[in-house]
Chains A and B, each alone.
Chain A
């Protein structure tokens, strides 16, 4: 059974909007981080959907390969981002991003 691409893209859109809202609304750094991952994976889902649906013979594995790259980059990003969060917590005993505003001009 082949799921129509419209459904997949709709799901991807919902996930992305959820991620955006999470980033904009939540103050907990970990949650913001998770929301970013949500956006990345929404994009991955869209890429996979297109790769499977549109002329797979011509595009080859291009879409899937790109997704793997994004997953790898996201993993690296997580490593750096979590390290930053740990350091911030050590300094301030909090991970509320609104309290980290020393860059205010």
Chain B
């Protein structure tokens, strides 16, 4: 009994999971600069580490109270029937996210201590070191608000908070990049594309409030269950608008275009925000709205199809990229497509499972890529050559790094194999579970995802062979060297997680399924299928072999064409140009929009409103009106009244002065006559 009371009391400290990162960022804002980089890094990392400990304590409490609890922190908005409060939802689903986010964040924070130390020096502005960690802590706080929310509105606060941090961190080197504005433009693009998704989320909330009168998760679920088929159209509309929100935040078709550009941010940002945590918010939101999407019927098919289509589409683009981070970015979009397809076919546990394992290995891959980039940058500066126009992200300039960066190579290999779905690494189990469920529920989705999985293995093989094998293709790569332990130790930690993460939900044990069942309701567990697993693993091995044939057997020489271009020809150009989607959006949306804005600004605003309406109508009209007032009204009417009064008085007094004769007897006589008149009036009238 006592044990139980102690365990459940951990729930009460749940708000600290948000408070610790906030505390960290406040300390760093106030005194960070004074105490230097080491202090800033330690404060920021330990703030997130403490949040991780809080998450672990929540996990311990949930062992005895698996149904979770709502911790009410404060009242927020109570108007009429809308009662929205700051309430933290601690249940198995949110704690899964909390553990994943704070755990991965802690490792990435530690990595960033080393990475940003180098980066601020390479970019030439060490003063921004503190700012980076302030933004990073703010991101963790916002992400915690998002995952611990008890209602859609509070979730939206976190949703916007992480969006803001994403914007701030993509444009962290806002004065760098192509033409000095490329990074700022990338940040702006991410922010604006996400606004489209936020419009969907907001509209869904408005509809929800109109129909259900509440934004609280349980009450919305109750409404969905009570409403039944009568409200099917409304439920579908809410689900589809929520999906639009998810496609924005989780970078799915049609709103994925911001994520590749978001790679302009420093690499820890790409790892934390644009691979492991923020972009999974859409998946989490749909998993959280499980009841709603189950009731929405065909809307969840739309979810599954969008996910599967994105998975394949992004995977094809990843094949044709040369930028090491762009490959990973498209891979992230593709993997998010897997997760979205999973929650679309109601395999929410599989989706969440893949979300967690993907966070491990994709954060690992991004951080390792950052390590590679930094290593190459070092090589560049060591070999004091002409490095104008040198792009340290370009895989064509790398090669042979396995000998120069042994730790990075090792962990990169683990991450790549996990992503490719090679057993027994984490990616195999989670991806296999999604494929298994899809093969039962939705064959078309299964086929698309299997094709995407094949391409995934191929582009990862291509990347590993291009970056680490063969001979260095540039002086920078030839002089690259390994990074300090502050960066490699988190990499090893993440590599371990990526290797054993599959243990979370092994076939036959279903640990995660049992765990999430408390929140997501009863889950039908599928038996392991050797057929599905065999096909996907076989395809992955074939794809890696293919990659070896093309890139491994005879490594790329300096200045040589990509062998894929010889085979695919114009198709490779299409892949390399990302199917010209950006250009298509530019022609279809941005140009007409810019033309519309120009027309609005120049024709409507300037010519019509300013030149015609303001100058002609208002100004001229006013001038005419005031002229009329002064000429006609003031001079002719008002002045006439004043002059008339004066001349009337003058005339009257000129007439009356005659009476004033000055002769006393005249006055006396007039008094006498007056008296007589008065007396006569009194007497006779």
Residues of A within 8 A of B (CB): 20, 23-25, 27, 32, 97-98, 100-105
Q: Does B665 contact A (CB under 8 A)?
A: yes
Cβ-defined contact, B668 with A102, below 8 A = no
| B672/A104 in contact, CB under 8 A | no
Among B656, B664, B669, find the residue whose CB has the most chain A CB atoms closer than 10 A: B664
CB within 8 Å for A101 and B665 given contacts A20-B672, A24-B672:
no
Q: How many A-B residue pairs have CB under 8 A?
A: 35
Q: Which residues of A contact B658 (CB under 8 A)?
A: 105
Q: Are B669 and A24 in contact (CB under 8 A)?
A: yes
| Bound-state Cα–Cα, A48 to B274, Å | 122
Q: Determine whether B659 belongs to the interface, using a CB cutoff of 8 Å to chain A.
A: yes
B664–A97 touching, CB < 8 Å:
yes
List of A residues within 8 angstroms of B664 by Cβ: 32, 97, 100
Interface pair A105/B663, CB less than 8 Å apart? no
How far does the alpha carbon of A23 sit from the alpha carbon of B662 in the complex, in Å?
Answer: 16
The one of A23, A101, A103, A104 that contacts B668, using a Cβ cutoff of 8 Å: A23
How does the 8 Å CB contact mask read for B644-664 relative to A, with 1 for contact and 0 for none? 000000000000111111111
28 CB < 8 A contacts A-B: A20-B672, A23-B668, A23-B672, A24-B668, A24-B669, A24-B672, A25-B665, A32-B664, A32-B665, A97-B665, A98-B663, A98-B665, A100-B662, A100-B664, A101-B661, A101-B662, A101-B663, A102-B662, A103-B660, A103-B662, A104-B660, A104-B661, A104-B662, A105-B657, A105-B658, A105-B659, A105-B661, A105-B662
CA distance A100 to B668 in the complex (A): 14
Nearest first, the 9 A-B pairs at minimum CB distance are: A105-B660, A101-B662, A104-B662, A105-B657, A103-B662, A97-B664, A23-B668, A101-B663, A24-B669
Chain B residues whose CB sits within 8 angstroms of the CB of A25 once the complex forms: 665
Q: Which residue of A lies closest to B664 (CB)?
A: A97
Contacts of A98 in B (CB 8 A): 663, 665
Distance A102 CA – B664 CA, assembled complex (angstroms): 11
Query: Could you say which residues of chain B place their CB within 8 Å of the CB of A104?
Result: 660-662
Interface residues of B in 264-283 (CB under 8 A from A): none
Q: With A and B bound together, what is the CA distance between A20 and B665 in angstroms?
A: 11
Q: List 4 other contacts, CB 8 Å, given A27-B665, A98-B665, A105-B656.
A: A23-B672, A24-B672, A32-B665, A100-B664
Q: Which residues of B contact A24 (CB under 8 A)?
A: 665, 668-669, 672
Q: B residues within 8 A CB of A20?
A: 672
A104, B667: Cα distance in complex, Å: 11
Task: List chain A residues, Cβ under 8 A from B660.
Answer: 103-105
- Specify which chain A residues have a CB less than 8 angstroms from the CB of B672 in the assembled complex: 20, 23-24
CB distance from B656 to the nearest CB of A (A): 8
Tell whether, in the assembled complex, residue B661 and residue A23 are in contact, meaning their CB atoms are under 8 Å apart: no
A20–B658 CA distance with the chains assembled, in angstroms: 24
Distance in Å: Cβ of B664 to nearest Cβ of chain A:
5
Most buried by B among A23, A32, A100: A23
A98 and B669 alpha carbons, distance in the complex (Å): 14
Greatest chain A CB density within 10 A among B656, B665, B669, B672 is at B665
A99 → B minimal CB distance (Å)? 10
Is A23 a contact partner of B657 (Cβ separation < 8 A)? no
Residue from B656, B659, B665 in contact with A23 in the complex, judged by beta carbons closer than 8 Å: B665
Closest residue of chain B to A101, judged by CB?
B662
For the complex, give the distance between the alpha carbons of A102 and B669 in Å.
19
A28, B658: Cα distance in complex, Å: 24
Interface centre among B656, B659, B662, B669, by most chain A C-beta atoms within 10 angstroms, is: B662
Distance from A79 Cβ to chain B, minimum over Cβ atoms (Å)? 19
Contacts of B666-682 to chain A: CB distance below 8 A: 668-669, 672
Q: Which residues of A contact B661 (CB under 8 A)?
A: 101, 104-105
Chain A residues closer than 8 Å to B656, beta-carbon distance: 105
- Complex contacts, A32 vs chain B, CB 8 Å: 664-665
**Smallest Cβ distance from B627 to chain A, in angstroms?**
45
B665 cross-chain contacts in A, Cβ below 8 A: 23-25, 27, 32, 97-98
Which B residue's beta carbon lies closest to that of A26? B665
- CA–CA, A26 and B535, complex, Å: 148
- Residues on B with C-beta less than 8 A from A105 are 656-662
Chain A residues with CB under 8 Å of B659's CB are 105
Closest to A104 in B: B662
Question: Which of A32, A102, A103, A105: most chain B CB closer than 10 A?
Answer: A105
Bound complex: CA A104 to CA B660 (Å):
5
Write out the residue numbers on chain B whose beta carbons fall within 8 Å of the beta carbon of A101. Answer: 661-663
Q: Shortest Cβ distance from A21 into chain B, in angstroms?
A: 10
The residues of A that contact B668 with a CB separation of less than 8 Å are 23-24
Contacts of B662 in A (CB 8 A): 100-105
Q: How far is the CA of A24 from the CA of B660 in the complex (A)?
A: 17
Bound-complex Cα distance A67 to B20 (A): 107
* A20: nearest chain-B partner, CB-CB: B672
A98, chain B: closest CB distance, angstroms: 6
Question: In the complex, how many angstroms separate the beta carbon of A82 from the nearest chain B beta carbon?
Answer: 16
B655 to chain A, nearest CB (A): 11
State how many angstroms separate the Cβ of A10 from the closest Cβ of chain B: 18
- Rounded to whole Å, the gap between the CB of B442 and the closest CB of chain A is 115
Q: Give the CA-CA distance A80 to B672 in the complex, in Å.
A: 22
Contact A97 B663 (CB under 8 A): yes
Q: Which residue of B lies closest to A35 (CB)?
A: B668
Q: A62 to B332, alpha carbons, bound, how many Å? A: 122
Q: In the bound complex, what is the Cα–Cα distance between A20 and B672 (angstroms)?
A: 8
Distance to closest chain B CB from A24 (angstroms): 6
List the B side residues contacting A103 at CB < 8 Å: 660, 662
| Nearest CB in chain B to that of A25: its residue | B665
How far apart sit A100 and B663, CA to CA, in the bound complex (Å)? 7
Bound state CA distance, A27 and B665, in angstroms? 8
Residue of B nearest to A29 (CB): B664
Which B residues, 28 to 65, have Cβ-Cβ distances below 8 Å to chain A?
none
Q: Mark B95-132, 1 if CB is under 8 A from A, else 0.
A: 00000000000000000000000000000000000000
Tell me the complex Cα distance, A105–B661, Å: 6
CA A97 – CA B666 in complex, angstroms? 11
Tell me the complex Cα distance, A32–B663, Å: 13
Separation of A56 and B89 alpha carbons in the complex (Å):
109
Q: Inside 8 A of B669's CB, which chain A residues have their CB? A: 24
**Smallest beta-carbon distance A32→chain B, Å:** 8
What residue of chain B has the Cβ atom nearest to residue A102's Cβ?
B662
Q: How far apart are A104's CB and chain B's nearest CB, in angstroms?
A: 3
Give Cα A32–Cα B665 distance, bound, in whole angstroms.
Answer: 9
Nearest B residue to A97 via CB reads B664
Distance A32 CA – B672 CA, assembled complex (angstroms): 14
Which residues of B are found within 8 Å of A102, using beta-carbon distances?
A: 662
**With a CB–CB cut-off of 8 A, which chain A residues contact B657?**
105
Q: How far is the CA of A30 from the CA of B655 in the complex (A)?
A: 33
